[in-house]
Amino acid sequence: MDLQQDTVRAAWEAGTVVPAFNVPHLPMLAPIARAVADQDSFALIETAHIEWQVFECYGPAAVDEAFDLFGDPDHVRLHLDHVPVFDEAGEAVDYLPIIKKALGLGYPSVMIDGSMLSLEDNISATREVVDIAHASGAVVEAELGAISREGAGPLPPYEELFASGAGFTPVDHAARFVAETGCDWLSVAVGNIHGAVSKAFKDKAKTQARLNLDHLAALRAATDVPLVLHGGSGVRREDVLAGIKEGIAKINIGTDVRQAFVQGLKATGTLAGAQDSVYERAKWLIHDYYGITGSRRVILG
């Protein structure tokens, strides 16, 4: 098996992180790619199943076309994010054709989300995707645990949810899951929450989340693979930086840049103004929040 360069593993081994920017609105891609290049950093640009259902990114092929125009592979690569076996409404998703299409387009990494399945069924679905993707030279991200989404339905108060550990990725399950699936990266639940995508909540500030760092350390020891933090927007900065030291090597960023796009559009009334807002936010995240200016040299060599 000759996998394409695994940039997230390279970041993990170097003790740094790859930010993964979602582009629910297609014009967000160009300013994000420009911000990453201007900071001589490295990032993933990703598209998730829910985004082409709810927003205006139009799916993997459209994102791939935009990437061909604006993406510089020396600084950014594509990733197929969050293709679920069952969506958040509990409806079955025909996930294999979506993943195969992205692989055919040349996506170097894909994500299968079987977290709503039983452990055994999640292992089975993920193993099948791993076999298909690895045969194409692509890397696979999987998910284990229950990461809540704001606005998807009533949730307990955050502190109550955090204290209970409800939905946290079980350490013993994680060890078995990675061993039996062969997945390359594992998305985990350790206090993080997804941002809202519903009309009523998508423009509201996210609940500030934190991470159970002890649980994260145990997951790292049990799995020995790069860990992924979904719902990266809104997590306390000190927890994020500590989490990187405990094995988080990829952080998904959606709400932060999506709201910057919407707010820029409202403030200026122009697409250029919205793109400028996304550029400034992405640059701030790379330089000030994560402190990873210049990371390209560490990750790509």
pLDDT tens track for 169-210? 999 999 999 999 999 999 999 987 754 443 444 455 546 788
| pLDDT the model gives residue 197 | 42
The whole-number average pLDDT for the span 203-231 is 87
Note the pLDDT of residue 153. 55
Q: Provide the CB-side half-sphere exposure for 59 (13 A, CA).
A: 7
The rounded distance, in Å, linking the Cα atoms of 101 and 107 is: 9
104-121 average pLDDT score: 96
Residue 151: band (very low, low, confident or very high) from pLDDT cuts 50, 70, 90: very low
Whether 256 is catalytic = no
Q: What is the largest CA-CA distance in the chain?
A: 51
Q: Which residues contact 231 (CB under 8 A, 6 or more apart)?
A: 147, 192, 193, 194, 195, 206, 209, 252
* pLDDT tens, position by position, 55-80: 877 899 999 999 999 999 999 999 99
Helix (H, G, I), strand (E, B) or coil at 141: strand
Which of 6, 64, 81, 256 does the annotation list as catalytic? 81
Backbone angles phi, psi at 202, to 5 degrees: -65, -20
Classify 70 as helix, strand or coil.
helix
Task: List the domains of the chain with CATH numbers.
Answer: 7-300 (3.20.20.70)
What's the rounded mean pLDDT across residues 105-132?
97
